[in-house]
């Protein structure tokens, strides 16, 4: 191509891009959509009812979007959420926006310092923004070893997840246990063939220790 032709092509591409911009995630729209989710998952995506409603804040956007599509397609069964994920309610574009928004929320990792003049509601709201779940009993050292051996490869060294792998640290323990139970019963697929066996090969005490370890590294 001649230099002029290249310039011309560049200009034409730029014009086309301006006419039909590639749609970036719309965070404002994502925030609006998340108001519907807040009734169960909390105003900051922090989850609720001690883990009946999982934490969504800070989960990788790809992972969130995959789960929303799985709920919509009924590949992952979630009766409470079914009406909210029907096509009319949650088209793909909304799934992208709300996932990007929820992924961007950073919950505090330290307990808030009260000044002393807050009312009870304000205090509750401050504590709600903190990403710390209660410690659970178990052999943390052993849990850490099993985690490093069997889980870190996908869920990350610090259990923050990434891409299609969910964050496990900071997630409610009873919610994680419930998911592990449904993997073991074959109700929810745990990744591909490689990892299917991972959980089945562990003893109940290994799983308890992993969960204890996860609450120790938040």
Q: How far apart are the C-alpha atoms of 33 and 170, rounded to whole Å?
A: 24
Separation between Cα atoms, residue 48 and residue 22, nearest integer Å: 36
CA distance 198 to 146: 11
Cα torsion angle, 152, 158, 161, 166, sign: positive
Q: How far is the CB of 4 from ligand HEC (least distance, A)?
A: 50
Binding string, 109-148, against ligand HEC, x = CB under 6 A?
A: ----------------------------------------
As a whole number of Å, the CA-based R_g of the chain is 21
Neighbours of 204 (CB within 10 A): 8
Distance, in Å, from the CA atom of 31 to the CA atom of 35, rounded to the nearest integer, reads 7
Instruction: Give the nearer residue to ligand HEC in terms of CB position, either 46 or 67.
Output: 67
By beta-carbon proximity to ligand HEC, the closer residue of 9 and 205 is 205
Q: Is 123 or 196 the residue whose CB approaches ligand HEC more closely?
A: 196
Instruction: State the nearest-atom distance from the C-beta of 5 to ligand HEC, in Å.
Output: 46
Q: Does 198 bind ligand HEC (CB under 6 A)?
A: yes
Of 57, 61, 98, 140, the one binding ligand HEC by CB under 6 A: 98
From 4-12, 13-21, 59-67, 123-131, give the range in contact with ligand HEC by CB under 6 A: 59-67
Q: What is the DSSP secondary-structure string of 24-62?
A: PP-HHHHHHHHHHHHHHH-TTS--BGGGTB---TTS-HH
Of 97, 52, 103, 98, residue with least CA distance to 79: 52
Report the interface residues with ligand HEC, using CB under 6 A: 33, 36-37, 39-41, 52-54, 56, 59, 64, 66-68, 78, 80-81, 84, 90, 98, 150-151, 153-155, 164-166, 168, 171, 176, 178-180, 188, 190-191, 194-195, 198-199, 202, 210
């Amino acid at each position: 191509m001649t230099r002029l032709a290249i310039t011309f092509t560049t200009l034409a591409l730029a014009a086309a891009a301006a006419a039909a911009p590639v749609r970036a995630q719309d965070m404002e729209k994502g925030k609006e959509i998340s108001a519907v989710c807040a009734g169960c998952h909390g105003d900051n995506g922090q989850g609720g009812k001690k883990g009946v409603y999982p934490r969504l804040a800070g989960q990788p956007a790809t992972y969130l979007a995959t789960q929303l599509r799985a709920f919509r397609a009924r590949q992952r069964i979630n009766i409470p959420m079914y009406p909210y994920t029907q096509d009319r309610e949650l088209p793909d574009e909304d799934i992208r926006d709300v996932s990007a928004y929820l992924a961007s929320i950073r919950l505090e990792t330290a307990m808030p310092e009260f000044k002393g003049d807050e009312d009870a509601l304000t205090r509750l709201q401050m504590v709600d923004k903190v990403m710390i779940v209660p410690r659970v009993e178990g052999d943390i050292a052993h849990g850490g070893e099993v985690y490093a051996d069997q889980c870190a490869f996908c869920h990350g060294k610090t259990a923050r997840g990434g891409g299609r792998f969910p964050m496990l640290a900071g997630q409610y323990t009873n919610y994680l246990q419930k998911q592990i139970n449904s993997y073991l019963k074959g109700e929810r697929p745990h990744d591909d063939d490689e990892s299917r066996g991972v959980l089945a090969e562990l003893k109940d005490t290994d799983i308890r220790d992993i969960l204890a370890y996860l609450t120790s590294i938040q």
